[in-house]
Amino acid sequence: MTYGFVPNNWPAFQRELDERGLAMDDIEKVEIRPSADAPSATSIEVVVTARSGRVHSWRQDEAPPAD
């Protein structure tokens, strides 16, 4: 499953941005990769670099695919 193209994952991503006070226009770069030490095989590490230079990161579980 590719995180960036699965619409089910975007509400959780937006929630994380909201908690950090980030708008889409504030984002310079987003990196999404498998989490090496995650409790679940579907956990990913999200790293967002803001245009200000601040880096925000969190672990997130991938949503199951829509039926």
What residue ranges do the domains of the chain occupy? 3-61
- Per DSSP, the residues of 24-52 read GGGEEEEEEEE-TT-SSTTEEEEEEEETT
- Give me the chain's average pLDDT, please: 83
Q: If you compute the radius of gyration of the chain from its CA atoms, what whole number of angstroms results?
A: 12
Other C-beta atoms closer than 10 Å to the C-beta of 22 total 18
C-alpha dist (Å) from residue 63 to 10, 27, 30, 42, 66: 9, 23, 18, 8, 9
- pTM score, whole prediction: 0.76
pLDDT single digits (tens) 6-35: 778 888 889 999 999 999 999 999 998 887
Amino acid occupying residue 59? R
